């Protein structure tokens, strides 16, 4: 808050008003920018903490960790389509028993049901949220856009491991993909 | 009070307003603009009210009787947008225009020309918003919270809705800048910050809230617009965005917004109760600090609207406790109002009746808010009629009652005429009965599981819905008495004295009733 002496004594009230309006407008501009800044901040927060089930991108394959053969974690696979995405989309297997630290590969099957070429993007999500950080993929069809010719169907691989740091109370991890149709405008 | 202006460099040199319609179009006089805002708000109150009656008429019985579901959804969305941005907020800005200069001994608002702009944007914004109802695909129907991806299914109306929201936002921001400049730069000598009437204090803090969050809303709706038309993916998961992020940004605006709609009401009530209890306000300084802490806390509780969306446990707990913390300064206020009345020489003129009803019924709304703040309980209450009951208790017998109390309280000052006290009391009693019959049963409906924003419902909810609809029509039609009383008071009536109310204190009551067109062109002396 401005002090008494600060606002009472200036040369003219008009000058004081101008100065105040300038400051407040800067506040408005800053808050407008802040709204947009929330987008990258939000992404960074989700990536770092794994809140919201967002998994990180590709991890470097060359960091071997000890396989914890004594522990078994169930990984479930779920596939769903965003509204209006004309694909058939399903996991090859719906669950795997895995040991933390070891790499596994599985596939998802997708088929373009239309007569046109289509581009799709799969968006992964891991539940429970705190497990997301410990779900490491070195290869995934979700890293890139997938182009399908008319009627084309194919198997798409994902290679992953569960980090042995996974909190001990987590016994089941669900990896879910939602397949989105990318139209020209939809980026 | 002299109206001769020798040196003041404000926009108007003349002592008398120009006549006719141009007076209102080009006016930079704070009293004229205040009147315009208040009349605009009253108009919007009736338009939004008509929408509410359509909603309640459809919900009188289960099944679909009167409107089709898509139109019903447009009504719930539009009702909220019209009432929030068209009725409640402009009413408070109108009161600020009329009262702040007279309360702090200023000749006018600090930026009179911008003031004219702030007002005249509003009729255009709302014409645009309301016109979307007639566009192909209808108006917005996804709820006032504009969540994507649903809101992106709006038809051709979509860009117009966004533009209308931008215009309202610009108007609010300009109004807020003006109010801050007036309060900080134009106080009469001796009017220190801690001598300011509470209405001025609460508006100062509200104006800062507006500046902090209206731009965030503008950003959020701009992102919606670019997602829909320019291929960005802020909220589109397929493109790497996240629709939940919209909810965070929206409620970062939305929760402070609900306090924007209640803080000036706190100010009004803190002016009225001392007058009719004939005692100074109990705990003036604590009222100021409580208002400031509510404003501060309002920035860190937004995700209580998102408990069910998915948050880590730590988040649920943080937002739960932070929300409950707000009840502390709010409780301080309620205790101060009650203590002001305690052993006062109370009389019960219409403004006081509305003020007392405010204290009781707002508190009920605060308690249901506390229930909703309990994260595990909110999983049951969220998106049910319990939430509808909660926010209508804080907004209708809260914000709206305070505006009516203010209208009755200051109308004799503004017009120079006393309003019809009998009619005012009748209006009060019908309103207070109507509002409770209307909203109290909605608590039970919500607890029993009736979802909000649906045109049809399961049979077991019928009775409470019927009661609620009867209350809605009672409340709605009683407001015609208010409009009638206000218009009659503007046109004539018993002469009001300068002080109007025996217990009224403050600079505005030292002016004549009605006050001259220009007041305090030479600053008054404040002891
Ligand atoms: C003690 C103070 C308050 C508390 C603890 C509180 C708490 C809450 C909570 C937890 C919700 C979310 C419920 C849900 O969606 O499941 C909510 C909704 C709401 N509150 Fe409050 N509230 C308080 C005061 C107020 C005030 C003063 C206002 C406005 C004047 C207000 C207006 C609203 C509105 C409009 C909504 C619903 C928004 C929507 O979903 O459309 N609340 N409140
Ligand atoms: Cu809130």
Cβ of A42 within 8 Å of Cβ of B236? The answer is no
- Closest-CA residue of chain A to B216: A35
Residue B494 lies in a domain: yes
DSSP characters over B85-147: IIIIHHHHHHHHHHHHHHHHT-SS-S-HHHHHHHHHHHHHHHHHHHHGGGSTT-S--S-TT--
Give this complex's ipTM. Answer: 0.85
DSSP H helices, B149-197, are 158-185
User: Mean pLDDT in runs of 10 for chain B (527 residues)?
Assistant: 39 61 89 96 97 97 94 97 97 97 94 95 97 94 94 93 97 96 93 95 97 96 94 84 92 96 97 96 95 95 93 89 94 96 94 97 96 95 97 97 97 96 97 97 96 95 97 97 96 92 93 91 83
Cβ of A130 within 8 Å of Cβ of B315? The answer is no
CB-hemisphere CA count at 13 Å for B325?
16
Give B176's contacts in chain A (Cβ within 8 Å).
Answer: 24
- Closest-CA residue of chain A to B252: A35
B398 lines ligand 1 (CB under 6 A): yes
Give A36's contacts in chain B (Cβ within 8 Å).
Answer: 219, 223
Which one of B250, B359, B394, B450 would you pick to mutate in the ligand 1 pocket, going by the greatest count of ligand atoms within 8 A of its CB?
A: B394
Cβ of A180 within 8 Å of Cβ of B216? The answer is no
Cβ of A186 within 8 Å of Cβ of B238? The answer is yes
pLDDT value, residue B476: 97
Q: Which atom of ligand 1 is nearest to the CA of B304?
A: 10
CA distances B475 to B196, B220, B234, B279, B431, Å, are 35, 35, 42, 32, 5
Active site residue B509: no
Give B311's contacts in chain A (Cβ within 8 Å).
Answer: 51
pLDDT value, residue B111: 93
Report helix, strand or coil for A90: strand
Residue A111 forms beta bridges with which residues? A88, A153
The model's pTM is 0.89
Which residue's alpha carbon is at the smallest distance from atom 29 of ligand 1? B258
With tokens 């405010």, the residue in question is B358
Token code pair at residue B253: 């605006």
Residue B6 lies in a domain: no
Q: Which one of B211, B231, B312 has the shortest CB-CB distance to A130?
A: B312
B327 lines ligand 1 (CB under 6 A): yes
Sheet hosting strand A146-148, strand order edge to edge: A95-98, A73-81, A172-181, A118-127, A146-148
Question: Is residue A176 within 8 Å of A95, Cβ to Cβ?
Answer: no
Q: Which atom of ligand 1 is nearest to the CA of B382?
A: 16
Q: Which atom of ligand 1 is nearest to the CA of B378?
A: 16
Give me the residues of chain A with pLDDT under 50, please: 1-8, 10, 184-187
Cβ of B223 within 8 Å of Cβ of A36? The answer is yes
Active site residue B27: no
Nearest Cα of chain B lies from the Cα of A23 at a distance, in angstroms, of 10
- What is d(CA B367, CA B326) in angstroms, rounded to the nearest whole number? 12
Cβ of B312 within 8 Å of Cβ of A38? The answer is no
pLDDT value, residue B122: 97
Residue B77 lies in a domain: yes
B333 lines ligand 1 (CB under 6 A): no
CB-based contacts of A6: which residues, under 8 Å, 6+ apart?
none
Residue B4 Cα to ligand 2 midpoint, Å, equals 48
Question: Is residue B369 within 8 Å of B301, Cβ to Cβ?
Answer: no
Nearest Cα of chain A lies from the Cα of B245 at a distance, in angstroms, of 7
Q: Which one of A20, A25, A32 has the shortest CB-CB distance to B185?
A: A20
Active site residue B305: yes
Catalytic residue among B12, B31, B56, B79: B79
Active site residue B117: no
Nearest Cα of chain B lies from the Cα of A15 at a distance, in angstroms, of 10
Nearest Cα of chain A lies from the Cα of B213 at a distance, in angstroms, of 7
- State how far Cα B322 lies from the chain centre: 24
Q: Which atom of ligand 1 is nearest to the CA of B262?
A: 30
Residue B515 lies in a domain: no
Q: Cβ of A84 under 8 Å from any chain B Cβ?
A: no
Counting residues of chain A whose pLDDT is more than 70, the rounded percentage is 82
Token code pair at residue B375: 């994260």
Residue B524 lies in a domain: no
Residue B519 lies in a domain: no
pLDDT value, residue B414: 96
Residue B437 Cα to ligand 1 midpoint, Å, equals 20
pLDDT value, residue B10: 41
CATH of the domain at B201: 1.20.210.10
Residue B113 Cα to ligand 1 midpoint, Å, equals 36
Q: Cβ of A27 under 8 Å from any chain B Cβ?
A: yes
Residue B133 lies in a domain: yes
Catalytic residue among B171, B323, B415, B469: B171
- What is d(CA B462, CA B21) in angstroms, rounded to the nearest whole number? 50
Q: Which one of A17, A31, A82 has the shortest CB-CB distance to B181?
A: A17
Residue B123 lies in a domain: yes
pLDDT value, residue B15: 59
Active site residue B259: yes
- What is d(CA B357, CA B361) in angstroms, rounded to the nearest whole number? 6
Residues 95-154 of A with CB under 8 A from B: 121, 123, 129-130
Nearest Cα of chain A lies from the Cα of B511 at a distance, in angstroms, of 24
Structural domains counted in chain B: 1
With tokens 């809260």, the residue in question is B398
Torsion of CA A62, A66, A68, A73, to 10 degrees: -20
Backbone angles phi, psi at A108, to 5 degrees: -115, 145
Cβ of A82 within 8 Å of Cβ of B192? The answer is no
Report helix, strand or coil for B453: coil
**Residue burial B416-441, b: 16+ Cβ < 10 Å; e: rest:** bbbbbeebbeebbebbbebbbbbbbb
Give A129's contacts in chain B (Cβ within 8 Å).
Answer: 310, 312
Q: Which one of A14, A21, A31 has the shortest CB-CB distance to B212?
A: A31
Cβ of A52 within 8 Å of Cβ of B186? The answer is no
Cβ of B237 within 8 Å of Cβ of A180? The answer is yes
Domain encompassing residue B451:
11-510
């Amino acid at each position: 808050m401005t002090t008494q002496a600060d606002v009472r004594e200036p040369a003219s009230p008009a000058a004081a008003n101008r100065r105040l309006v300038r400051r407040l407008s800067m506040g408005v501009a800053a808050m407008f920018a802040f709204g947009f800044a929330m987008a990258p901040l939000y992404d960074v927060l989700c990536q770092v903490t794994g809140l919201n089930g967002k998994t990180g991108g590709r991890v470097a394959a060359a960091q071997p960790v000890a396989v914890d053969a004594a522990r078994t974690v169930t990984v479930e696979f779920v596939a769903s389509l965003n509204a209006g995405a004309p694909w058939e989309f399903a996991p090859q297997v719906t669950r795997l028993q895995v040991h933390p630290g070891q790499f596994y590969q599985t596939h998802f099957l997708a088929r373009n049901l239309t007569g046109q070429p289509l581009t799709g993007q799969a968006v992964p999500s891991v539940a429970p949220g705190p497990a997301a950080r410990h779900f490491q993929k070195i290869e995934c069809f979700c890293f890139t856009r997938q182009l399908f010719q008319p009627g084309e169907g194919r198997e798409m691989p994902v290679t992953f491991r569960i980090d042995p740091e996974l909190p001990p109370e987590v016994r089941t991890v669900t990896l879910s993909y939602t397949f989105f149709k990318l139209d020209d405008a939809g980026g | 009070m002299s109206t001769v202006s020798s040196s003041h460099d404000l926009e108007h040199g003349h002592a008398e307003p120009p006549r006719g319609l141009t007076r209102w179009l080009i006016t930079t006089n704070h009293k004229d603009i205040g009147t315009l805002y208040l009349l605009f708000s009253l108009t919007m109150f009736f338009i939004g009210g008509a929408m509410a009656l359509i909603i309640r008429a459809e919900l009188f019985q289960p099944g679909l009787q009167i409107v089709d579901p898509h139109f019903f959804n447009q009504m719930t969305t539009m009702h909220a947008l019209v009432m929030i941005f068209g009725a409640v907020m402009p009413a408070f800005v109108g009161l600020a225009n009329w009262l702040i200069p007279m309360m702090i001994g200023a000749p006018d608002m600090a930026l009179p020309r911008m003031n004219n702009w702030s007002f005249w944007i509003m009729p255009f914004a709302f014409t645009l918003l309301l016109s979307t109802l007639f566009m192909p695909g209808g108006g917005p129907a996804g709820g006032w919270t504009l969540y994507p991806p649903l809101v992106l299914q709006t038809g051709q109306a979509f860009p117009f809705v966004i533009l209308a929201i931008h215009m309202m936002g610009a108007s609010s921001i300009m109004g807020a800048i003006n109010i801050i400049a007036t309060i900080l730069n134009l106080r009469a000598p001796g009017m220190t910050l801690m001598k300011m009437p509470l209405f001025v204090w609460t508006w100062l803090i509200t104006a800062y809230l507006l500046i902090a969050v209206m731009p965030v809303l503008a950003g959020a709706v701009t992102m919606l617009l670019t997602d829909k038309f320019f291929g960005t993916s802020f909220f589109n998961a397929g493109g790497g965005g996240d629709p939940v992020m919209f909810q965070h940004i929206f409620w970062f605006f939305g929760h402070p917004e609900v306090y924007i709609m209640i803080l000036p009401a706190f100010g009004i009530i803190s002016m009225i109760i001392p007058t009719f209890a004939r005692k100074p306000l109990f705990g003036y300084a604590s009222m100021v600090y409580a208002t400031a802490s509510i404003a501060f806390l309002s920035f860190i509780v937004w995700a209580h609207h998102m408990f069910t969306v998915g948050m880590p446990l730590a988040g649920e707990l943080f937002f739960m406790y932070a929300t409950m913390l707000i009840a502390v300064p709010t409780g301080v206020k309620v205790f101060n109002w009650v203590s002001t009345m305690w052993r006062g020489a109370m009389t019960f003129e219409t403004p006081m009746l509305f003020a007392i009803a405010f204290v009781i019924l707002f508190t009920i709304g605060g308690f249901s808010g506390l229930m909703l703040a309990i994260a595990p309980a909110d999983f049951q209450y969220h998106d049910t009629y319990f939430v509808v009951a909660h926010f209508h208790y804080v907004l209708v017998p809260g914000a709206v009652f305070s505006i009516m109390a203010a209208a009755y309280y200051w109308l004799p000052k503004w017009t120079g005429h006393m309003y019809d006290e009998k009619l005012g009391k009748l209006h009060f009693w019908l309103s207070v009965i109507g509002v409770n019959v209307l909203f109290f049963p909605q608590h039970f409906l919500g607890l029993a599981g009736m979802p909000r924003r649906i045109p049809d419902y399961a049979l077991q909810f019928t009775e409470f819905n019927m009661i609620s609809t009867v209350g809605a029509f009672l409340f709605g039609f009683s407001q015609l008495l208010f409009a009638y009383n206000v218009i009659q008071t503007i046109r004539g009536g018993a002469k009001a004295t300068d002080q109007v109310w025996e217990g009224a204190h403050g600079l505005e009551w030292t002016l004549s009733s009605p006050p001259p067109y220009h007041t305090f062109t030479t600053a008054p002396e404040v002891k």
